[in-house]
Amino acid sequence: MMLLNVQGVSKAFGGLKALQNVSLKVAAGQIVGVIGPNGAGKTTLFGCISGFHRCDSGTVTLAGVRTETLPPHSICRLGMGRTFQIVRPFEGMTVLENVMVGAMVRHPGTAKARDKASEVLQRVGISHLGDRDADGLSVADLRAMEVARALATEPKLLLLDEMLAGLTPVEAAQMHERFMRLRDEGLGLLVIEHSVPTVTALCDQVVVLNFGEVLAVGTASEVLADARVQEAYLGNKHA
């Protein structure tokens, strides 16, 4: 089933065309990667898809429902979860409480939200962190909590913005495992990642953005073999 269908999305900030006519699709049980140089528009694309930015034109359809004019909380309720590149935990709250905030989207009662949050911590493999103060977490644990917060909203589709960047190889492998498990459970994942080996190992499809435009779409090996991608993304003019 097609979970996400983005068609012809454009977004400008003043005179800067951050996104121009961007289209992509994510099916259930699929991991789609978005790659591209810094400033290519990746995070802006996530903002447009999740309702944090209003698209200037184009359509976004989540599980058959048009969402491009809806606010973030409505899109979240329809089944889209997202993580942020810079994780900001709620200050003075434990990891469990942070995740409960996500769970409250569907379970307004505290007891139900707590049960849901505990279940998600287990699913992400961080039950042992539940009582810890979220402010004091390592980068890897913060990222895991961020994934848990998004999962607690019970999404069909997850948008993951650079969750592996800066992790040690062991931590990155753990995060990679989590993403594969979620994919196998039938979620659709749209991930922004920089590392070429990561994208190659993780993604069923890759969309390359450059200066706000889609430069190439295909499997990782297809797009990485594309000379224009090598020039834009890898900066290799003689590839």
Ligand X SMILES: Nc1ncnc2c1ncn2[C@@H]1O[C@H](COP(=O)(O)OP(=O)(O)O)[C@@H](O)[C@H]1O
Residue ranges that bind ligand X, judged by CB under 6 A: 13, 16, 18, 36, 38-44
153 lines the binding site for Mg ion (CB under 5 A): no
- The item of ligand X, Mg ion, none sharing an interface with residue 18, based on CB under 5 to 8 Å by kind, is ligand X
- The item of Mg ion, ligand X, none sharing an interface with residue 39, based on CB under 5 to 8 Å by kind, is ligand X
DSSP 143-184: HHHHHHHHHTT--SEEEEESSSTT--HHHHHHHHHHHHHHHH
CA pair distance 121, 2, nearest whole angstrom: 28
> Is the Cβ of residue 18 or residue 164 nearer to ligand X in the bound state?
18
Residue the block writes with tokens 């797009």: 223
For 110, counting Cβ atoms within 10 Å of its Cβ (0-12 exposed, 13-18 middle, 19+ buried), the class is exposed
Taking Cα atoms as reference points, which of 76, 80, 82 lies closest to residue 163?
82
43 lines the binding site for Mg ion (CB under 5 A): yes
Give the nearest distance from C-beta 41 to ligand X in angstroms.
4
- The item of Mg ion, ligand X, none sharing an interface with residue 221, based on CB under 5 to 8 Å by kind, is none
Give the nearest distance from C-beta 192 to ligand X in angstroms.
7
Give the nearest distance from C-beta 217 to Mg ion in angstroms.
19
Residues contributing to the site for Mg ion (CB under 5 A): 42-43
